[in-house]
Amino acid sequence: MANNGPSRPRRKGVSLTHPAGQYDELQVLYTISDTISTNLDLDDVFRKIIQLVEGITKADACLLYLLMDDQLVLRASRHPHPEAIGKLKLKIGEGITGWVAQHQRPVVIQKKAYDDPRFRFFQELPEDRYEAFISVPLFFRDTVIGVLNVQHRLAQRYPDHILNLLLVVGRQVGGAIENARMLEGTKSLKSVLATRKFIDHAKDLISKKLNVSAEEAYNMLLRQGAKTGKSVRVVAESMMIAEDLEK
């Protein structure tokens, strides 16, 4: 975004950057919220997360593991892996991916990731021969629900803002995944409409109380979500409950 004030973000992709080429954190939050936070289809949520991360990192490979029955299961990949998706599994603590889930901390390796003592090689994944590697935990509230891996064929110097943005993504997409999981099981459109309703009511409340535009009110909801690690819906619900208590 330009320095002279916010502009309306584009709806497709994460295309707005700072002059130095760094992705704008607020634009990333917009993309997450607008495209995946109320999506009914879990596989589509995974695809959009992969696309978002690719846009940020220009990754040669991106893999998403979901915690299921105390195991990390490969659920999505930039490259098709029909023989591995849903079948390749890791125990908590196994490999770099399992280590990230166990310790709830990211791992950044700029070259020769395959030489790391935590590394586990899978024949089904040619990406395991790539040089550079970032692995970040995916959270729902304060619980790890998965791991996101980003890989590059050649050695890579990852700037701090890339890791920081991936950590933001890891905090925010967890709510989207859990929401899609719930909706996948119930196919309940009412939950989606309720989410929109809470967010719209919260935006109106902020806009009226602080005399700001609806867009700026939505920005405030996004910032609060990023600050607290909560989904926009949870922030909106909390605000509505607080308003009811004041009456």
Neighbours of 48 (CB within 10 A): 19
Domain with CATH 1.10.10.10 in the chain: 189-246
CATH code for the part of the protein at 189-246: 1.10.10.10
Domain 25-186 has CATH 3.40.50.300: no
What's the rounded Cα separation, in Å, for the pair 39 and 153? 32
204-242 in b/e burial notation, b at 16+ Cβ within 10 A? ebbbeeeeeeeeebbbbbbebbbeebbbbbbbbbebbee
* Residue 43 to residue 177: CA distance in whole angstroms: 10
- What pTM was estimated for this model as a whole? 0.66
Q: Residue-wise pLDDT tens for the chain (247 aa)? A: 334 444 333 333 333 344 344 556 677 777 777 666 555 577 778 888 888 888 888 888 899 999 888 899 998 888 767 778 888 888 999 999 999 999 999 999 999 988 888 888 776 676 778 889 999 999 988 889 999 999 998 998 888 888 888 888 888 887 777 777 766 655 545 555 567 777 788 888 888 888 888 888 888 877 777 777 677 777 777 777 776 656 6
Residue intervals of the chain classified under CATH 3.30.450.40 are 25-186
